[in-house]
Chains A and B, each alone.
Chain A
Protein backbone atom coordinates (compact mmCIF):
# COMPACT_ATOMS: atom_id res chain seq x y z
CA UNK A 1 0.00 0.00 0.00
CA UNK A 2 0.90 3.65 -0.05
CA UNK A 3 1.59 5.44 3.18
CA UNK A 4 2.91 8.72 4.48
CA UNK A 5 3.80 9.14 8.14
CA UNK A 6 4.27 12.38 10.03
CA UNK A 7 4.14 13.14 13.75
CA UNK A 8 0.69 14.27 14.78
CA UNK A 9 1.72 17.16 16.97
CA UNK A 10 4.83 19.14 17.85
CA UNK A 11 5.51 22.05 20.15
CA UNK A 12 8.32 24.57 19.92
CA UNK A 13 9.34 27.93 21.31
CA UNK A 14 9.37 31.23 19.50
CA UNK A 15 12.81 31.90 17.99
CA UNK A 16 13.82 28.24 18.04
CA UNK A 17 14.34 25.72 15.23
CA UNK A 18 12.01 22.79 14.61
CA UNK A 19 12.29 19.81 12.26
CA UNK A 20 9.17 18.04 11.04
CA UNK A 21 9.81 14.59 9.62
CA UNK A 22 7.95 12.73 6.92
CA UNK A 23 8.49 9.14 5.81
CA UNK A 24 6.77 7.66 2.81
CA UNK A 25 6.16 4.38 1.07
CA UNK A 26 4.64 4.87 -2.35
CA UNK A 27 4.46 3.03 -5.64
CA UNK A 28 6.71 5.34 -7.62
CA UNK A 29 8.00 8.78 -6.73
CA UNK A 30 7.72 11.99 -8.70
CA UNK A 31 8.32 14.62 -6.08
CA UNK A 32 7.52 15.54 -2.48
CA UNK A 33 5.66 18.64 -1.37
CA UNK A 34 5.27 20.49 1.89
CA UNK A 35 2.21 22.63 2.47
CA UNK A 36 1.28 24.87 5.37
CA UNK A 37 -2.31 25.03 6.55
CA UNK A 38 -3.61 27.40 9.20
CA UNK A 39 -6.73 26.27 11.00
CA UNK A 40 -9.81 26.57 8.80
CA UNK A 41 -7.83 27.88 5.86
CA UNK A 42 -6.56 26.46 2.59
CA UNK A 43 -3.20 24.69 2.32
CA UNK A 44 -0.49 26.86 0.82
CA UNK A 45 2.60 25.60 -0.96
CA UNK A 46 5.92 25.73 0.89
CA UNK A 47 8.40 23.55 -0.95
CA UNK A 48 8.98 20.88 -3.55
CA UNK A 49 11.80 18.31 -3.67
CA UNK A 50 12.36 15.84 -6.44
CA UNK A 51 16.13 15.29 -6.10
CA UNK A 52 18.04 14.33 -2.97
CA UNK A 53 19.34 17.14 -0.86
CA UNK A 54 18.37 20.33 0.85
CA UNK A 55 16.29 23.12 -0.64
CA UNK A 56 16.45 26.37 1.28
CA UNK A 57 13.94 29.17 1.04
CA UNK A 58 14.26 31.86 3.66
CA UNK A 59 13.42 30.53 7.12
CA UNK A 60 12.15 27.26 5.66
CA UNK A 61 14.23 24.41 4.27
CA UNK A 62 13.21 21.00 3.02
CA UNK A 63 15.35 17.90 2.72
CA UNK A 64 14.80 14.72 0.72
CA UNK A 65 16.41 11.29 0.72
CA UNK A 66 14.74 9.13 -1.90
CA UNK A 67 16.67 6.00 -0.94
CA UNK A 68 15.36 6.27 2.62
CA UNK A 69 11.87 7.44 1.71
CA UNK A 70 12.40 10.38 4.04
CA UNK A 71 11.97 14.11 4.08
CA UNK A 72 12.01 16.83 6.67
CA UNK A 73 10.89 20.42 6.84
CA UNK A 74 13.11 22.70 8.89
CA UNK A 75 11.70 25.91 10.26
CA UNK A 76 14.16 28.42 11.70
CA UNK A 77 13.62 31.50 13.86
CA UNK A 78 10.14 30.35 14.69
CA UNK A 79 7.41 32.95 14.88
CA UNK A 80 3.99 32.72 16.45
CA UNK A 81 2.43 32.85 12.98
CA UNK A 82 4.18 29.55 12.17
CA UNK A 83 1.64 27.78 14.37
CA UNK A 84 -0.16 25.70 11.76
CA UNK A 85 -0.48 22.22 10.35
CA UNK A 86 2.28 21.09 7.98
CA UNK A 87 1.27 18.61 5.32
CA UNK A 88 3.65 16.29 3.51
CA UNK A 89 2.45 15.03 0.11
CA UNK A 90 4.05 12.73 -2.44
CA UNK A 91 3.32 12.47 -6.12
CA UNK A 92 3.39 8.79 -6.89
CA UNK A 93 3.54 6.94 -10.18
CA UNK A 94 1.29 7.85 -13.07
CA UNK A 95 0.45 10.94 -14.99
CA UNK A 96 -2.71 11.99 -13.19
CA UNK A 97 -1.05 14.48 -10.84
CA UNK A 98 -2.44 12.59 -7.87
CA UNK A 99 -0.86 13.51 -4.57
CA UNK A 100 -0.75 11.13 -1.62
CA UNK A 101 -1.22 13.22 1.51
CA UNK A 102 0.01 12.73 5.02
CA UNK A 103 -2.36 13.61 7.86
CA UNK A 104 -0.30 16.64 8.78
CA UNK A 105 1.74 17.74 11.77
CA UNK A 106 0.13 20.33 14.00
CA UNK A 107 2.84 22.71 15.21
CA UNK A 108 2.24 24.95 18.20
CA UNK A 109 4.72 27.78 18.69
CA UNK A 110 4.76 29.09 22.25
CA UNK A 111 6.13 32.43 23.41
Chain B
Protein backbone atom coordinates (compact mmCIF):
# COMPACT_ATOMS: atom_id res chain seq x y z
CA UNK B 1 0.00 0.00 0.00
CA UNK B 2 1.30 3.43 -0.99
CA UNK B 3 1.70 5.48 2.14
CA UNK B 4 3.58 7.98 4.23
CA UNK B 5 4.33 6.83 7.76
CA UNK B 6 5.34 8.89 10.76
CA UNK B 7 6.56 7.89 14.18
CA UNK B 8 5.74 8.45 16.90
CA UNK B 9 2.08 9.35 16.49
CA UNK B 10 1.92 10.93 19.92
CA UNK B 11 4.72 12.28 22.06
CA UNK B 12 4.85 14.17 25.32
CA UNK B 13 8.28 15.45 26.23
CA UNK B 14 10.01 18.10 28.30
CA UNK B 15 11.77 21.28 27.32
CA UNK B 16 15.28 20.75 26.00
CA UNK B 17 15.15 17.00 25.45
CA UNK B 18 16.21 16.29 21.88
CA UNK B 19 13.75 14.32 19.81
CA UNK B 20 13.35 13.00 16.27
CA UNK B 21 10.14 12.40 14.39
CA UNK B 22 10.64 9.94 11.58
CA UNK B 23 8.92 10.08 8.20
CA UNK B 24 9.08 7.46 5.51
CA UNK B 25 7.35 7.08 2.14
CA UNK B 26 7.22 4.05 -0.14
CA UNK B 27 6.16 5.82 -3.34
CA UNK B 28 9.62 6.77 -4.58
CA UNK B 29 8.70 10.44 -4.31
CA UNK B 30 11.37 13.04 -4.84
CA UNK B 31 9.71 15.81 -2.86
CA UNK B 32 9.11 15.66 0.88
CA UNK B 33 7.97 18.30 3.30
CA UNK B 34 7.25 18.90 6.97
CA UNK B 35 4.35 21.00 8.20
CA UNK B 36 3.03 22.04 11.53
CA UNK B 37 -0.64 22.78 12.06
CA UNK B 38 -1.90 25.02 14.82
CA UNK B 39 -5.43 26.32 15.49
CA UNK B 40 -6.04 29.59 13.67
CA UNK B 41 -2.72 29.39 11.83
CA UNK B 42 -3.35 26.55 9.41
CA UNK B 43 -0.64 24.45 7.81
CA UNK B 44 2.78 26.04 7.85
CA UNK B 45 5.77 24.55 6.10
CA UNK B 46 8.83 23.93 8.24
CA UNK B 47 11.33 22.40 5.81
CA UNK B 48 11.17 20.69 2.47
CA UNK B 49 13.42 18.53 0.32
CA UNK B 50 13.42 18.37 -3.45
CA UNK B 51 15.57 15.23 -3.52
CA UNK B 52 18.28 13.34 -1.66
CA UNK B 53 20.75 15.70 0.05
CA UNK B 54 18.71 18.74 -1.04
CA UNK B 55 16.81 20.49 1.75
CA UNK B 56 15.60 24.03 2.26
CA UNK B 57 13.78 26.14 4.80
CA UNK B 58 10.06 26.67 4.68
CA UNK B 59 8.15 29.40 6.47
CA UNK B 60 8.85 28.43 10.08
CA UNK B 61 12.21 26.61 10.25
CA UNK B 62 13.49 28.02 13.55
CA UNK B 63 14.15 25.32 16.12
CA UNK B 64 14.03 22.46 13.64
CA UNK B 65 16.50 20.47 11.56
CA UNK B 66 16.02 17.92 8.83
CA UNK B 67 18.12 15.54 6.77
CA UNK B 68 17.55 13.63 3.55
CA UNK B 69 20.17 10.92 3.29
CA UNK B 70 17.84 8.48 1.57
CA UNK B 71 14.98 9.12 -0.81
CA UNK B 72 12.36 7.45 1.35
CA UNK B 73 13.19 9.04 4.72
CA UNK B 74 12.94 12.62 5.92
CA UNK B 75 13.32 12.88 9.70
CA UNK B 76 12.47 16.04 11.63
CA UNK B 77 14.80 16.84 14.49
CA UNK B 78 14.08 19.12 17.43
CA UNK B 79 17.46 19.69 19.09
CA UNK B 80 16.06 21.55 22.10
CA UNK B 81 12.26 21.49 22.08
CA UNK B 82 10.35 24.35 23.64
CA UNK B 83 6.66 24.64 24.59
CA UNK B 84 5.94 26.79 21.52
CA UNK B 85 6.73 23.74 19.41
CA UNK B 86 3.71 21.94 20.81
CA UNK B 87 1.74 21.23 17.67
CA UNK B 88 0.39 18.68 15.21
CA UNK B 89 3.09 17.77 12.69
CA UNK B 90 2.55 16.34 9.23
CA UNK B 91 5.03 14.90 6.81
CA UNK B 92 4.07 14.94 3.13
CA UNK B 93 5.53 13.71 -0.13
CA UNK B 94 4.85 14.18 -3.81
CA UNK B 95 6.21 13.11 -7.15
CA UNK B 96 7.42 15.30 -9.99
CA UNK B 97 5.50 13.43 -12.67
CA UNK B 98 1.85 13.16 -13.57
CA UNK B 99 -1.05 15.47 -14.23
CA UNK B 100 -1.49 16.17 -10.57
CA UNK B 101 2.21 16.57 -10.16
CA UNK B 102 1.89 18.45 -6.93
CA UNK B 103 -0.61 16.24 -5.17
CA UNK B 104 0.88 15.82 -1.73
CA UNK B 105 0.34 12.65 0.24
CA UNK B 106 0.29 13.23 3.96
CA UNK B 107 1.38 11.06 6.81
CA UNK B 108 -1.06 10.44 9.69
CA UNK B 109 0.40 13.18 11.85
CA UNK B 110 2.41 13.40 15.06
CA UNK B 111 0.88 15.19 18.00
CA UNK B 112 3.72 16.66 20.03
CA UNK B 113 3.39 18.22 23.47
CA UNK B 114 6.41 19.94 25.01
CA UNK B 115 6.07 20.63 28.73
Contact = CB atoms under 8 A, between A and B. Distances in A.
A96 B106 CA distance: 17
Given A103-B40, A103-B42, A33 B48 contact: no
Contact of A96 (B42, B48, B88, B108): B48
Contacts of A30: 102
A104 B88 CA distance: 15
A102 B42 contact: yes
A100 to B, nearest CB: 9
B41 interface: yes
Interface of B: 31, 33, 40-45, 48, 50, 56, 58, 88, 90, 94, 99-100, 102-109, 111
Contact of A97 (B40, B102, B107, B109): B102
A41 B107 CA distance: 9
Interface of A: 30-31, 33, 40-45, 48, 87, 89, 91, 96-99, 101-104
A14 to B, nearest CB: 27
Given A96-B48, A96-B50, A96-B56, A31 B43 contact: no
A26 to B, nearest CB: 14
A98 B104 contact: no
Max count, chain B CB within 10 A of own CB: residue among A41, A43, A102 = A43
Residue from B40, B88, B103, B111 having most chain A Cβ neighbours under 10 A: B103
Contacts of B108: 41-42
Given A48-B102, A91-B102, A103-B40, A42 B58 contact: no
A42 B107 contact: yes
Nearest to A89: B43
Given A31-B102, A96-B50, A98-B48, A42 B42 contact: no
Given A31-B102, A101-B43, A42 B109 contact: yes
Nearest to A104: B42
In this complex, which of B42, B44, B56, B88 has the most chain A Cβ atoms within 10 angstroms of its Cβ?
A: B42
A42 B93 CA distance: 13
